[in-house]
């Protein structure tokens, strides 16, 4: 089987990718692939692995050998799955590999806002403690998260784990999702989306990107939030209207925000969130812990191996 990996670099260096998949066939791995390079690079391939490179309908139409697309991620919007099915092309994804890594990042943000570690570490290294007349100082108030309310929009695997850990911290949990479910989590309340916005001291997004959720964070919903509240987005960048959030931060409508995902990635230099007040941004690293990457690699290998045996798993079309 001829296997082509279009964008392996963010997962692992080329040599590891080749070594992992070589038992399954003849493997070619590219660090990155531009859209115009896709047709030539996958010509004659039966299996293609992609993370963020789009496999367009036109590419599929002109790739008669293509029978399998393995998405190296949980989200699979880089492929029109219905069209792929019409061409008898199997599409698989890698579900739930990064749940705990993303949850960990959510609480890294929560604790960064509450304890101001980065701010005070910088002050100490700039000499402010050494020159302080007292045994301690505060650059900004710090606060406990116990007793605070975390609001969760989207209660899939990640949202549910956020709720469990928040409860363990002694936080109150208010959540909204397309579907409710019975959860044995203390201090958890299901409520309307509007009430989640109103009650949350920390509002964290874990909803999929759909036409209904696109731009869910906008000037109207931000006005519902407390001026002391913080917004966290580790889900999808387009859930947020960037200009509206930047305006809310700069005017003090909310206290701060954090994002690991942006509307376009990498963000354009003119994105207003890059210069907004009290905005923490990390470069889409929530999925990329060593443990999560190993799980992704293992599951994607198993997906392709199962396809070769005629017993497809994690198929999304």
Residue with tokens 């990155």: 32
Q: Using DSSP, state whether 239 is helix, strand or coil.
A: helix
CA 184 and chain centroid, separation: 25
Q: Provide CB contacts within 8 A for 249, sequence distance 6+.
A: 256, 257, 276, 277, 278, 279
Catalytic residue among 61, 118, 144, 265: 265
284 is catalytic: yes
Q: Listing from the earlier edge strand, what are the strands of the sheet with 68-71?
A: 26-29, 2-5, 47-50, 68-71, 90-92
Quote the CA–CA distance of 301 and 270 in Å, as a whole number: 39
Catalytic residue among 284, 291, 294, 295: 284
Catalytic residue among 236, 270, 295, 309: 236
178 is catalytic: no
Quote the CA–CA distance of 88 and 141 in Å, as a whole number: 59
- Reply yes or no: is the peptide bond before residue 266 cis, omega within 30 of 0: yes
Integer angstrom CA distances of residue 42 from 60, 77, 142, 158: 10, 19, 54, 34
Structural contact between residues 226 and 201, judged by C-beta atoms closer than 8 angstroms: yes
- Residues forming a β-bridge with 257: 231, 279
Helices (H), the chain: 14-21, 38-42, 57-61, 81-86, 99-115, 117-125, 157-168, 193-199, 219-222, 242-251, 290-309
Secondary element (H or E) of residue 26: strand 26-29
Q: Using DSSP, state whether 186 is helix, strand or coil.
A: coil
36 is catalytic: no
CA 51 and chain centroid, separation: 13
Look up residue 81 and give its DSSP letter.
Answer: H
Instruction: Please identify every residue annotated as catalytic.
Output: 236, 265, 284
């Amino acid at each position: 089987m001829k296997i082509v990996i279009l964008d392996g670099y963010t997962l692992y260096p080329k040599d590891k990718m080749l070594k992992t998949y070589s038992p399954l066939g003849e493997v070619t791995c590219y660090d990155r692939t531009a859209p115009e390079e896709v047709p030539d690079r996958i010509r004659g391939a039966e299996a293609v692995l992609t993370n963020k490179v789009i496999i367009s309908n036109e590419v599929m139409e002109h790739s008669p050998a293509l029978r399998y697309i393995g998405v190296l991620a949980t989200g699979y919007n880089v492929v029109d799955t219905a069209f792929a099915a019409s061409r008898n092309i199997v599409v698989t994804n890698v579900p739930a590999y990064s749940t705990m890594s993303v949850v960990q990042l959510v609480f890294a943000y929560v604790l960064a806002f509450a304890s101001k570690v980065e701010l005070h570490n910088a002050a100490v290294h700039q000499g402010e403690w050494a020159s302080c007349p007292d045994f301690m100082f505060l650059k900004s108030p710090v606060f406990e998260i116990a007793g605070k309310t975390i609001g969760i929009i989207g209660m899939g695997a990640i949202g549910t784990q956020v709720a469990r850990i928040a409860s363990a911290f002694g936080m109150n949990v208010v959540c909204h999702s397309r579907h409710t479910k019975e959860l044995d989590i203390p201090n958890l309340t299901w409520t309307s989306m509007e009430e989640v916005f109103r009650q949350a001291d920390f509002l964290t997004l874990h909803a999929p990107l759909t036409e209904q959720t696109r731009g869910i964070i906008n000037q109207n919903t931000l006005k519902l939030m407390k001026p002391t509240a913080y917004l966290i987005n580790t889900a999808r960048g387009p859930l947020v209207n960037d200009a509206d959030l930047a305006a809310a931060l700069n005017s003090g409508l909310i206290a701060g925000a954090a994002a690991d995902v942006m509307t376009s990635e990498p963000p354009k230099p003119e994105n207003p969130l890059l210069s907004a007040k009290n905005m923490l941004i990390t470069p889409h690293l929530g999925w990329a812990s060593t443990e999560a990457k190993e799980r992704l690699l293992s599951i994607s290998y198993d997906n392709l191996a199962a396809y070769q045996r005629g017993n497809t798993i994690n198929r999304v079309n």
